[in-house]
Structure 1
């Protein structure tokens, strides 16, 4: 069966014309004048493959994923070694511009055959609103202990919680700080597409949105360890250094956090750091799927991608009569959106004035009666004075209030499992020198 192909651009050897004259395994069904026309033709179901003879520098991860979602592979012609490497990194089959038509037809057939083979989920999967399942990994058992043996990469910790300001950012930032102070190399990533606030919490006057920059480089296939370290903001602690990818500076910039590019950022961060702590958004809805444009970007894809790629998920809820029911409902939504996640439940802002005498016992009893199957992993005491002092000085609790009960509880939660089963660093010696520099 002949493979329908659409093309864009004209090579010096007119390989496209040669394909048309082959009458072999491929059939050119349309010549397009620009990439936008090619994209429209592919999304209409006209072709199984696209040949880009000119303008390969305009190809991005987002565009490749968009075509892959409708079953179209891309073959680009280039004689540049650097461009070939970039194209390969974003999932494009590269071929020399001087390739003869028969060999090009073979390349196209091979690319289509490879795409058709069953394959496991990859981190750079589609970030578009096709279906909710399109950005999920396959359900399966997931080890939730941060001390589990690594699989050749750093551990990714996602801190999530329902609406209502349960303290996600405070917990995430201080978890990252405690891990860094314990001698680990740590990235803190603000992936909240609604209200990014890590920069504000730490007093960083950042208007560059480090995560958006990293996603842009990932989308172009240009994100490597050096580039990631350049866009990250280093924060020196009393002991250790924390690298931060700050969040978007305005809520309307959420479109810059596409799931496909974000997945690449996470993987690259895991290659060069012991721990990657992600402060996520609250919303897990897939209401974008109701849009008439099924290829539209998903605002909540950043949160879902963070959760599905995480080795450990902490679900943070406020310990009061409003926060606890919200957390219960939120855990149900989390299970539906990311079924493979095994969250560790953390009740924050625990205080007698909101839960009664012996608040931990009261909350545990109520949780066992009405809550989901997941047990409460930790209680974080309310300490408004310490929190306010840290916020006012733009630093973490370990520096502003080292003896605070809240600080000690966070340190025990995130560092105790690591100390119980210490593992060797995933840094290469080169990466370690880069972070120290």
Structure 2
């Protein structure tokens, strides 16, 4: 599969080029770039193979072409008037060897494929490190099998964060838990697999317009997922990478059934994986392709070693949580369920013990955890585009730390020190509590 960026700068050949590339079986147009800066920024994500550019594009110079090549993107120029005397000189100045005339694009797909076949400078992940942050080493998610769930080599755990409809706080819990695991030295990948309302990128201030999930889906189809998986992710903190979700809800059809399961299986070889999922579990095969929208959520739950079921603490939220526990148990069988009751507050008039009694009447779960209603801390994190633990100490960040103690016990040594030599870094090093603190278990 060849992923192509297109920079036509308003040239008349763009429509025909997009049509011809769309008809090619091994070519995918990754993005139509608005200018050279947009082209260079998208190339830096490491997800493209070829850049189809107008030779006359404003700002296209030798340094821009070198930038493309550094990130493994091969330039192909479209020349509007190949008979002009200065065309050959400009191609030479830009160091662009592949080109074709705008009036004859019949060989466009073949030219693009040949350009990609010349080689891939991303071998060795030179450009991948451009998006994955600082270099590789122990504890970096970029390296396969660097750190398993207990600090030794081996596959990591997949933790799915799920909950019923009604915005109980799934994404907030997923981002906060993944960030806390990473702060403790666990190489962690946060995957946005919500087919309805992907929002992890917005929560963490990732402005990349290229969907990591869609890019990974294309790599699965091309058979190159394992070696190029880091190129589909963005590093947002040491040990924490993010695979962004669908840019629009209607693009779920581009993630074929089975793809997300392959992505999660490949990802766990590099560390732990936290998956933010959608609320719906129904798949209506009688409705045809449209009935398979929730397949992404089901595949995430099937791949999970443990599931965090998030529910709101208010009467409507608890009612939805009770029904959801019955529904999800029917889907996941014996996979451990850990309930997270979010936005718990005294004004509701019931205690944690009351909630425990309600939950145990519907399902048997591994544990219950309560997150306080700290709206100010959540708002600070959302406005800053950062995880809860990165915007200062708060009651909810301390509760997330205790939740992570249970979800990722391998990050705590016998003395309670963080794994990976990070125990003395920041406030979180002082937040360690016994695992039972703030945790209510069914009686």
TM-score w.r.t. length of structure 1: 0.58
Which runs of structure 2 are paired with 1:229-248 in the superposition (5 Å)?
Answer: 229-236=230-237, 240-248=238-246
1:258 to 253, 256, 259: 256
In 2, distance between residues paired with 1:387 and 1:408? Answer: 13
Helix, strand or coil at the partner of 2:330: helix
The Cα of 1:242 is off from its aligned counterpart by: 1.3
1:320 maps to which of 294, 310, 314: 314
Q: What does residue 219 of structure 1 align with?
A: 221
Q: Alpha-carbon deviation of 1:341?
A: 2.4
Q: Distance in 1 between matches of 2:397 and 2:419?
A: 26
Counterpart in the other structure of 2:207? 205
Residues 1:406 and 2:396 are matched in the alignment: yes
- In structure 1, the residue matched to 2:278 is 281
Any residues of structure 2 matched to 1:156-195 within 5 Å, and which? 156-195=158-197
Instruction: Note if contact 1:216-1:261 (Cα within 8 Å) is conserved in structure 2.
Output: no
Partner-residue secondary structure (3-state), 2:315:
coil
When residues 333 and 148 of structure 1 are mapped into structure 2, their CA distance, relative to the original with a 3 A threshold, is farther
Q: Which residue number in structure 1 is paired with residue 344 of structure 2?
A: 350
Asked whether the 8 Å contact 2:196–2:278 carries over to 1, the reply is yes
Q: Deviations over 1:386-427 (max 9, x none)?
A: 0001101111111112x21111111111235234568999xx
Q: Which runs of 5+ in 1 are unaligned?
A: 1-54, 59-145, 426-437
**CA offsets 1:212-244 (integer angstroms, 9 cap, x no match):** 11111112212123x2111201102xxx23110
Q: Is the 8 A contact 2:216 2:232 kept in 1?
A: yes
Query: Given the superposition, is the C-alpha separation of residues 353 and 258 from structure 1 closer, same or farther in structure 2, using an over 3 Å criterion?
Result: farther
Residues 296 and 165 (structure 1), Cα distance of their counterparts in 2 relative to 1, 3 Å cut: closer
2:292 match: secondary structure: coil
Root mean square deviation of aligned Cα: 2.7
Match of 2:286 in 1: 290
Aligned partners of 2:155 and 2:269 also within 8 Å: yes
Within 2, Cα distance between the matches of 1:179 and 1:372? 27
TM-fit CA distance, 1:252: 0.1
- Distance in 2 (alpha carbons) for counterparts of 1:154 and 1:212: 23
Alignment match, 2:47: none
* 1:188 Cα deviation from its structure 2 partner: 0.4
Q: How far off its partner does 1:169 sit?
A: 0.3
The separation in 1 between residues aligned to 2:206 and 2:412, in whole angstroms, is 34
Structure-1 separation of matches of 2:230 and 2:291: 27
The alignment partner of 2:321 has SS state of helix
Moved more, 371-380 or 177-186: 371-380
Q: After alignment, is 336-345 or 195-204 more displaced?
A: 336-345
The SS at the match of 1:224 is helix
Structure 2 equivalent of residue 381 of structure 1: 372
Contact 1:318/1:349 (8 A) holds in 2: yes
Q: CA deviation at 1:286?
A: 1.5
Distance 1:383 1:276, change over 3 A: same
CA distance in 2, matches of 1:398, 1:214: 28
Summarize the Cα distance change of 1:266–1:147 in structure 2 as closer, same or farther, 3 Å threshold.
Answer: closer
Structure 1: distance between partners of 2:168 and 2:205: 20
Q: Distance in 2 between matches of 1:162 and 1:408?
A: 24
- In 2, are the aligned partners of 1:147 and 1:421 still within 8 Å (CA)? no
Q: Is the 8 A contact 1:209 1:247 kept in 2?
A: yes
- Contact residue 181 and residue 411 of structure 2 kept, 8 A: no
